[in-house]
Amino acid sequence: MSANDSIASNNPEHGASNAVAKKLIITVRVNEYMSRDINRNVPFTPDEIAETAAECRAAGASIIHFHARKPDGGKCHEPEVYAEIVAKIREKCDILIDSTLGQITVNEDENRLAHIKLMGQKSSTRPDFAAVDTGSSNIDAYDPVQKKFLTTNKIYKNSTETCLFLAKGMTDAGVKPHLSVWAVPFVRMVDAFLDMGAIKEPAYVQCVLAEGGIVGAHPCTTRGLEALIDFLPPQRLIEWTVACKEGNLFNVASTALDRNGHLAPGIGDYPYPELGCPTNAELVRRFAELGRAVGREPTTTDEARVLLGIGK
Ligand code: ZN
């Protein structure tokens, strides 16, 4: 894969006319903090997450994004549990691993990165990626039936200082930042981070769309996605993917495939009741079929490594 092919990913002029279609990186977002109330297939324990990883790899995913959970589904921030999950996934398959940060509010920046530092000490527990959200947003959900917000003070706060701290800490630990963008200003921040060398090219950008009353991100529509990708700096090497919180990613999948983007589905984001509440692997299989139908064969993990510029 040459640099020019990667540049083409940001430029719609180059999309459909490429002689060889770019392969498709499927990232599966297996659990987030989703409950099992609607879809009982959400994995919680390290063994369940590792089993899901292997099933999704076989179905066509080359990256797994996960959150550590307690056996009852509660949030888990223990660095040792994160390390256990990575080790168990690595025993089962070769899927690339994208960890979340700790959602911790005491000594915030240090503690959000503590598990990444611990995991980075050994190759058997080191994830390949971890998330940096390049801006802040109000993430309260609005309920149009009750005509009120369900909460009114949930701020997903990521100061510039925090982003730079996280990016440096991850890079030092041998973990590549994946850059989540919720709105156009987040995309502009990515450009600034690349310009100052805080992030290395090729950048791995994840467009985060949101439904379910979360108005702090773009909607899961063609225009919502295109507003983000139209602002990706065309002179930079960027591979981008798209996820949708609380909504059906199929709504923008064709647009992403047409525009040389990648896909990040998962029942952690949305339980897909209209598809009978599938497993993560069943969902991945559907998106892989969609990619193949337009000539975008899912990548192997080695092919994803090349596109995203990470070593073994
Ligand atoms: Zn996550």
Q: Report how far ligand 1's centroid is from the alpha carbon of 112 (Å).
A: 13
- The region that residue 248 occupies, defined by phi over 0 for left and psi between -120 and 50 for alpha, beta otherwise, is beta
Please tell me whether residue 295 adopts helix, strand or coil conformation: coil
CA–CA distance, 204 with 188 (Å, rounded to integer)? 14
SS3 214: strand
Extended beta strands in the chain, E state:
27-29, 63-66, 96-99, 129-133, 137-138, 142-143, 148-149, 155-156, 176-181, 203-210, 238-245, 262-263
Ligand 1 centroid–CA 129 distance in Å is 12
Do residues 205 and 238 make contact, with C-beta atoms less than 8 angstroms apart?
yes
Q: How far is the CA of 22 from the centre of ligand 1 (A)?
A: 26
Percent of the chain with pLDDT over 70: 92
Alpha carbon of 67 to ligand 1 centroid (Å):
6
Cβ atoms within 10 A of the Cβ of 238, count? 23
Mean pLDDT of 87-114: 86
Ligand 1 midpoint to CA 101 (Å) = 8
How do residues 21-42 score in pLDDT, each as one tens digit?
A: 999 999 999 999 999 999 999 9
pLDDT tens, position by position, 211-242? 999 999 999 999 999 999 999 999 999 999 99
* Of 5-14, 92-101, 215-224, 254-263, the least confident: 5-14
Note the pLDDT tens digit of each residue in 132-149.
Answer: 999 999 999 999 999 999
184-193: burial string, b at 16+ Cβ within 10 Å, e else: eebbebbbeb
Of the two residues 96 and 120, the one the predictor is more confident about is: 96
In the predicted structure, residue 106 carries a pLDDT above the cut 70: no
What pLDDT was estimated at residue 114? Answer: 84
Q: State residue 283 phi and psi, 5-degree precision.
A: -65, -45
Whole-angstrom distance, CA of residue 109 vs CA of residue 82 = 17
SS3 state at 201: coil
What's the pLDDT at 19?
A: 65
Distance 157 CA to ligand 1 centre (A): 15
User: What integer pLDDT is reported at residue 107 of this predicted model?
Assistant: 66
CA 191 / ligand 1 centre spacing (Å): 22
pLDDT of residue 104: 64
Tokens of 292: 């193949």
Whether pLDDT at 15 is above 70: no
Q: Which residues surround ligand 1, an ion (CB under 5 A)?
A: 32, 100
CB 27 within 8 A of CB 241: yes
- 32 CA to centre of ligand 1 in angstroms: 5
φ and ψ at 27, to 5 degrees? -100, 125
In tens, the pLDDT along 29-76 reads: 999 999 999 999 999 999 999 999 999 999 999 999 999 999 999 999
Instruction: Return the pLDDT at 14.
Output: 43
Helix 184-196, helix 160-172: angle, nearest 10: 50
Mean local confidence (pLDDT), 233-254: 97
Is the pLDDT at 287 greater than 90? The verdict is: yes
- For position 109, what pLDDT does the model report? 83
Asked if 182 and 231 touch (Cβ cutoff 8 Å), the reply is no
Compute, in angstroms, the gap from residue 66 CA to the centroid of ligand 1: 6
Q: How far is CA 60 from CA 1, 211, 250, 292, in A?
A: 20, 26, 16, 11
Cis peptide before 71 (omega within 30 of 0): no
Query: With bands split at pLDDT 50, 70 and 90, how would you rate the model's confidence at 123?
Result: confident
